[in-house]
Amino acid sequence: MKEVMAIVRMNMMNKTKKALLEAGVSSMTAREALGRGKGLVDYSLLEGAEKGYEEAIAQLGHSQRLIPKRVVFVVVPDKLMDATVKAIMKVNRTGKSGDGKIFVFPVLDSISVRTAESGEAVLDEV
C-alpha cells in the first residue's frame, strides 16, 4: 500500500479528479494549502545573506508570499501507484514552475471504519 500526496494548482483540481477516476482511483482526500517551492528562491539574496550583508538578511523570508495550492491524498495498492502518479502528472503538466510535486509514502495498514475490514480490501481494486 502506498500513499500518493500530490500538490497541484488550484484550477487543475477538476481535471485531476477526472483523471484519477479514469485511472481507477475513486477515493481521495483533498485540502487547501499554502506553499512555496524552490523556484522562488533568489540565490543572489541567499549568497548575500551568507556573506553577512544586513540588507540581504533583512529581506530573507519576507520577500515571497505563499501561493495557494491544493493537496490531494490518495491511498492505493502498490500496483496502481504508477498509473496514479502518471495520471496526475499528465493532466497537471504545463511545463512551467509551480506545477507541483508528488510524494509517495509507505502505508502500513488501512482499515475501513464502517466494516472494520483491513488491508487491500478497503482500497480501490486494480
Partner 1 sequence: MIMIRSIVRPDKVDDVLAALMEAGFPSVTKISVVGRGKQRGIKIGEITYDEIPKELLLTVVQDQDRDYVIKTVIKAARTGVKGAYGDGKIFVTPVLEVYTISSGIRETSSGEIEEVKI
Out of 21, 41, 111, 126, point to the residue binding partner 1 (CB under 8 A).
41
- Three cell numbers written together for 60: 530573507
Q: Is 94 in the site for partner 1 (CB under 8 A)?
A: yes
Q: Is 97 in the site for partner 1 (CB under 8 A)?
A: yes
Out of 18, 21, 93, 111, point to the residue binding partner 1 (CB under 8 A).
93
Angle at 112 between CA 115 and CA 83, to 5 degrees: 130
CA 8 to chain centre: 6
Q: Is 77 in the site for partner 1 (CB under 8 A)?
A: no
> CB neighbours (10 Å) of residue 99?
16
Site for partner 1 (CB under 8 A): how many residues? Answer: 44
Distances, alpha carbon 4 to alpha carbons 44, 50, 61, 119, 126, in Å: 34, 36, 29, 17, 16
- For residues 21 and 90, which CB has a smaller minimum distance to partner 1 in the complex? 90
Out of 34, 108, 113, 116, point to the residue binding partner 1 (CB under 8 A).
34
Q: Is 38 in the site for partner 1 (CB under 8 A)?
A: yes
φ/ψ region of 95 (left if φ > 0, alpha if ψ in -120 to 50, else beta) reads left
Binding residues for partner 1 (CB under 8 A)? 2, 6-8, 31-38, 40-41, 46, 49, 57, 60-62, 64, 66, 69, 71, 85-86, 88-90, 92-106
